[in-house]
Amino acid sequence: MSDFMRCFAQNKLAVFGLVIVIVLVLAAVFADFIAPYGFREQSRDYRQGPSRNHLLGTDNVGRDVLSRIIYGARISLKVGILATLISLTIGTIFGAVAGFFGGIIDTLMMRFVDIFLSIPYVILAVSIAVVFGRSVNSLIVVLGVTGWLSISRVVRATFLSLRKLEYTEAARALGFSRRRIIFGHLLPNASVPIIVYGTIAVGSAILSEAALSFIGVGPTSPTPAWGLMVADARGSLTSAAHMLLFPGLAIFVTVLGFVLVGDGLRDTLDPKMRR
């Protein structure tokens, strides 16, 4: 752990990304104490620019933009983390089974993945969202069941190489069950790409949540989702640019933070990258 922390600390960009993530988590946890107003609270100052009372201005109905961004961090983290956990679970199991068994099982499973990859992501996500309705929980389900395809390929490729190593043959010779070999021996050795991918996938899920909210598939108002805030401000770009600028900046900085942390983990956990 000390070696890991030392190597990670040497990557300044990764440390910067970690600081962003920590600030985001703290803002989400202590939003009730940090936010100057409630995310539903309205005033008579409609579409007002940044001022002393409203540091980032107000929106179309007089709600404080800063407060809604702070409360929106809760939604972004919830969607990003839970959707990533769902996709990692499905993709890891699917890819592990395909890579371990190989042959016809691998071929059929990967063709199944190819079929879903050939479907445009937006169409698939919108179709699922129509079934489950517009809410934060349905958005988590949508992103979770559509985001596992890429990680399944990563896990499959890792298992294809690991199953040929000596310790796998030794485990088979000792009579260990397939489940024990997959989850007890191969999966721990395949954890590095899964951890790295999962960290970056959190940022991707947050960006996807903003995109789906922007096109009207995500949660409805007055939920302080960043994508929904951007969607509400698209008609006020010339008269109240702050309504779009600050939520968009929050999305950009958050995704950047998770990507930098993921790159730092890759550089730290991969011995080849350390050398």
Q: Which residues pair with 64 in a beta bridge?
A: 58
pLDDT digits (tens, 9 = 90+) for 138-186: 888 888 888 888 888 888 888 888 887 888 788 888 888 878 888 888 8
Mean pLDDT of all residues in 192-204: 86
pLDDT of residue 44: 80
pLDDT of residue 23: 92
pTM: 0.85
The secondary element (H helix, E strand) that includes residue 166 is: helix 166-173
Closest-CA residue to 6 (of 243, 183, 264, 233)? 264
Given pLDDT bands bounded at 50, 70 and 90, which one contains residue 272?
low
204, with CB counted inside 10 A (0-12, 13-18, 19+), is: buried
CA 251/CA 231 separation, integer angstroms: 13
| Cβ pair 262, 13 in contact under 8 A | no
Residue reference for tokens 């050795």 = 189
Number of Cβ atoms within 10 Å of the Cβ of 119 = 13
Mean pLDDT of all residues in 82-99: 90
CA 33/CA 39 separation, integer angstroms: 12
Give the mean pLDDT of the chain: 84
- All residues at 6 or more sequence positions from 233 whose CB lies less than 8 Å from its CB, including other chains: 59, 60, 240, 243, 244, 247
pLDDT digits (tens, 9 = 90+) for 104-148: 988 898 888 888 888 777 777 777 777 777 778 888 888 888 888
pLDDT of residue 208: 84
C-alpha distances in angstroms, 95 versus 92, 138, 155? Answer: 5, 25, 5
Given pLDDT bands bounded at 50, 70 and 90, which one contains residue 53?
confident
On the CB side of 124, CA atoms within 13 Å amount to 16
Tokens describing residue 51: 């001022």
- CA–centroid distance for 79 within its chain: 7
CA 254/CA 227 separation, integer angstroms: 13
pLDDT of residue 187 exceeding 80, the answer is yes
pLDDT digits (tens, 9 = 90+) for 225-259: 888 888 888 777 777 788 888 888 999 999 999 98
- CA–centroid distance for 81 within its chain: 6
Closest-CA residue to 249 (of 20, 18, 64)? 20
pLDDT of residue 26: 93
135: alpha, beta or left? (left if phi > 0; alpha if psi -120 to 50): beta
Q: Domains in the chain, start-ordered, CATH in brackets?
A: 11-30+56-274 (1.10.3720.10)
Q: What is the largest CA-CA distance in the chain?
A: 75
Tokens describing residue 112: 């199944």
Tokens describing residue 163: 């199953």
Closest-CA residue to 197 (of 234, 149, 251)? 149
CA 205/CA 209 separation, integer angstroms: 6
pLDDT of residue 271 exceeding 70, the answer is no
Q: Which residues pair with 58 in a beta bridge?
A: 64
